Structure 1
């Protein structure tokens, strides 16, 4: 049994945002299945400081701070005909590490997390497996971006969608298996590429139900002035920005008409200017980064996921459900989650319905508590990581693991 080479576009630690949660849990599982060598990028110095937490887990680690700016990446993309997603993540250092690892280590599996990193995978012999984890169909995300905005950005996003779709298809044809976070994403990709079920599969996200547990030990927030509605997420990510702007401007006025003291808290790091501007609205609070997300989720009377653009599965929804909180999600935010509307959460088709359902939850506390309990039960029975990642061993040709990772096995953030 050989070693595993793992490539990720962002350091998979700490697992405190959607892509890092998935990459960390996959890496942790791979470390049980064999010796793993990791090449990854850091977004900033704070990311670089987390490298030591991974070194004890893996056989070797190459991490470098991503230095290509958006203007430079865009210029290189235009000159080379490549997607900007690739030129932004180009690195000779990563290429050298990958080539050396393949030549000097007994690598029998290359596992790539996120499409940008596939550009570093050289031609592999038949004895080496290539597993490509796309997560979501990124080209479809850019296609949706191209439907709005100014003419320049519509052109940029439409070009990115076309170029990235061609790269995704070429990569999937090279890979032994291409993985997506939901069956819906896998079906979408199969329909676009005509690849079969063996080549294109889903590997779902999970949730750490021991960490996200309403009775776990974490600081409790003091009682809010009025009922608390929250949204959680990385707040410089466009779908999250669009979601909270829409909710604050289109949904909150109706809620306030029924419950004047409701507070809407936007909880997440790096709020974009459009998000920060919402802090001036009555009843809206923009927290920025918080020390403990569970404190906010536990304090919420309602957790909302009013996404207007969404791909894959929403970790924010899984986390809130595991914390036994009532959730009101848009149809797109609910897509890919194996749960029963009305029993486990509420699903809205329009902003007006979101307002109606939030008011319904606030008016019926006992029903909301029962929904929260049902939601947690669903997470416990369906979405624990050991269940969702069970197919991983077979995909890379390993027997089920018998041991635990050497370090960081208890980390969940």
Structure 2
């Protein structure tokens, strides 16, 4: 394989590797770093992101960071309201970042942009191949946000942004040599049956070595939710479970609902006021924190792509109950690998099934672990994308060598 030089653009510094978006781009870069040299160029809103101690691996050969203060992002967003540019694209625009992109591009064989937020800086790039890692159809996520309780001026803003995002995302294959998404459902939402020829679908994965399987037989009736609670969809999921599902469950079925992950103080305080709810915040070890749990729940109503928490539950041996949105994008078989629940009463019935039937719980857990081992190791899920990038780099390098020879 030709060893290439990749420029990777991210809207946030991907360290520490916490949260779905950071986890995915870090996994992609870790896979690519085995065969190529990677330069990271990140936008950073916080000065803390410039701390060199945050980087604890050797994925990138070179790292550059550009500060984008929040006040500037908010000003740019306000100025974009009368136009057609998605507000989140405007939020991440940075002249300083654009200048560094322009300076670094000639030194590389391929540019990989993470999300449309940085992809915007490569729309007119034609000197080297470009890849846009879209991850999710964000417009589909926004449409679901509007369906679940957003009212007033916020509802109007979401409606405007969703329409802009959908049009913007649908155009992206025109500007990039390759675009990638996590799930077929997201691709179908954007393009129907007329899928772009330069689209790659590469699902999310899990590190099964870091998420050891544990037999849950005899564990107390503890249900867990794992996720970055700074995410609107995760907070909505926990509010939904606490308000609409947990009150229907007797204490013998769910003694404790434990929420594991980064969370804002105000959100933690709101959740803790409810009986049987424990909020841990960020923890040193997720497997250790959920070692005594009996079940994993994913009552996500808002989202797109693949829910990593479901894959993590499966790897850890937690029998899983998921909403249809949480199951979306996965080839996991309902009633064999997990249970799927569409309503609060469905959730109650599914959780009671697992808690009262140890044989079912064990079967679900073992089938789920087998599923993630066979289908969702990072190397396997990302191979369609990493192989495509490898081929693009080989072509780009040959072209550069031939051009140099002619000159």
Same-fold call, TM > 0.5? yes
Give distance in 2, aligned partners of 1:367 and 1:232. Answer: 22
Alignment match, 2:294: 301
**Cα displacement (A) at 1:68:** 2.4
Give distance in 2, aligned partners of 1:367 and 1:228. Answer: 17
Higher mean C-alpha displacement, 233-242 vs 58-67: 58-67
**Per-residue Cα deviation, 1:260-303 (whole angstroms, up to 9, x for no partner):** x6101111112463453121111111222122111233321011
**Cα displacement (A) at 1:79:** 5.4
**Cα displacement (A) at 1:18:** 0.6
**How is 1:8-407 mapped onto 2 (pairs within 5 angstroms)?**
8-49=10-51, 53=55, 56-69=58-71, 71-78=74-81, 81-103=84-106, 105=107, 107-121=108-122, 123-125=124-126, 128-147=128-147, 148-191=149-192, 196-214=195-213, 226-256=220-250, 259=253, 262-271=255-264, 273-398=266-391
CA change 1:157–1:272 in 2 (3 A) is: farther
Asked whether the 8 Å contact 1:235–1:275 carries over to 2, the reply is no
Give distance in 2, aligned partners of 1:361 and 1:122. Answer: 50
**Cα displacement (A) at 1:170:** 3.0
The count of corresponding residues between Structure 1 and Structure 2 is 389
Unaligned runs of 5+ in 1: 217-222, 402-413
Structure 1 counterpart SS, 2:391:
coil
Give distance in 1, aligned partners of 2:336 and 2:376. Answer: 17
State the 4+ residue runs in structure 1 displaced beyond 4 angstroms: none
**Per-residue Cα deviation, 1:330-380 (whole angstroms, up to 9, x for no partner):** 111011111111111111111111011111111112321221111111111
Structure 2 counterpart SS, 1:158:
helix
CA change 1:29–1:124 in 2 (3 A) is: same
RMSD between superposed Cα atoms in Å: 2.6
Alignment match, 2:402: none
CA change 1:55–1:355 in 2 (3 A) is: closer
**Per-residue Cα deviation, 1:169-192 (whole angstroms, up to 9, x for no partner):** 33321111211101111222222x
**Per-residue Cα deviation, 1:308-327 (whole angstroms, up to 9, x for no partner):** 11211010000110111101
**Cα displacement (A) at 1:381:** 0.8
Higher mean C-alpha displacement, 238-247 vs 46-55: 46-55
Alignment match, 2:401: none
User: TM-score, normalising length from structure 1?
Assistant: 0.87
Give distance in 2, aligned partners of 1:18 and 1:142. Answer: 17
Unaligned runs of 5+ in 2: 395-407
**Per-residue Cα deviation, 1:178-212 (whole angstroms, up to 9, x for no partner):** 11101111222222xx7534222311111111111
Give distance in 1, aligned partners of 2:329 and 2:194. Answer: 21
User: TM-score, normalising length from structure 2?
Assistant: 0.88
CA change 1:131–1:51 in 2 (3 A) is: farther
**Cα displacement (A) at 1:166:** 2.6
